[in-house]
Amino acid sequence: MINKRCVLNRPLAAGVPVADDFRVEPEEVAQPQPGEVLVRHRYLSLDPYQRAAIGGRHGGPGGPLGEGDMPGGETVGQVIESNQTSIPSGAWVRHAGGWQEFSVAAVDDVECLPESTLPPSVWLGALGMPGLTAWASVARLAEVQPGQTVLVSAAAGPVGATAGQLAREMGGRAVGIAGSDEKCAYLTGELGFEAAVNYKAPEFLSALAAVLPDGADVYHDNVGGQMLMDALGVLRPYGTVILCGLMSSYNDPAQRKDLYIGLPILKRAVLKGLVVYDFEAQRSEFVAQLQPLVERGAIKILEDCASGIESAGQQFCRLMRGENFGKALVEL
């Protein structure tokens, strides 16, 4: 049986990756040892942090990936070979399977998907790491209160879309920042955001101020850089900022724009750094709160799904150009 893996053609240079940075290689599927299972991946999650991880800038011991190395990434799939009664063959599981069709994993490293009528891909999006991130921000660190206004950047992505909808479910108002008029229309028309502003439009700053006449109580930042400073400009005094992502510099750290701290001082802002891995222990609470909301459609999911491992590189490039419309996935 052949496993196809998507690997690097070369180390990624600074800048947005291109499709030719990746290639697909076949290999024989490995045999699971005792305590392991063989998983056939059905969905691969592509996430912006993977750009930093490929460049060796996402923390941890590893350096940048080189030619022939396979990027990591979460997957959902079905166990097709197992000696473990705890995870029988046919079980749906979520784990860090990587950019490939099959993987062998230790039983302790895979998690069976909860019972649900939802498509399994949701466990990579609104009920997966992006959703956990949004929940940690809105429900835990920002502790959004009824009546508060929550501003979210990268709002059409799975973190931002979930954060905004959850804020609204908690009694707040969601205002989104996204990169196209189409995304903005979707946020207000389908996802219940009160307003959305296209940051690529020339009148972005005045439009942002116009939709927030009383300012934002909370800003969930997926972006960093100038957008963080622009958002601080419309933060209410004593507002909260959740520092959660650095999309503005994942592709090219040299283009990084840092924060003038006079801005948070002037706003008496409270800034909180969020790393989603800290909230793994609270995943069951998160699922208990979010799964019913997703199942009854109160929190809608939006997926941008490519097909086949051969499309993984191109789909990742689209994500890094901000061209994805919803959670970036590859169906395998």
Give contact residues for its own copies (rule: CB under 8 A): 59, 224, 228, 243-244, 246, 256-262, 264-275, 278
Token pair 């491992």: residue: 309
Task: Output 8 or 136, the one with its CB closest to its own copies.
Answer: 136
To the nearest whole angstrom, how small is the minimum distance from the Cβ of residue 265 to its own copies? 4
Task: Output 109 or 277, the one with its CB closest to its own copies.
Answer: 277
Q: CA 312, CA 315: separation in Å to the nearest integer?
A: 5
Task: Output 10 or 257, the one with its CB closest to its own copies.
Answer: 257
- 3-class secondary-structure state, position 102: strand
Instruction: Read off the tokens for 201.
Output: 């439009």
Task: Output 161 or 269, the one with its CB closest to its own copies.
Answer: 269
Task: Output 12 or 244, the one with its CB closest to its own copies.
Answer: 244
Q: CA 123, CA 117: separation in Å to the nearest integer?
A: 12
Question: Which candidate, 225, 253, 224, places its Cα nearest to that of 14?
Answer: 253
To the nearest whole angstrom, how small is the minimum distance from the Cβ of residue 231 to its own copies? 12
191 DSSP β-pair partners: none
Question: Which candidate, 46, 68, 137, places its Cα nearest to that of 329?
Answer: 46
To the nearest whole angstrom, how small is the minimum distance from the Cβ of residue 272 to its own copies? 5
Contact 199, 179 (CB under 8 A): yes
To the nearest whole angstrom, how small is the minimum distance from the Cβ of residue 202 to its own copies? 25
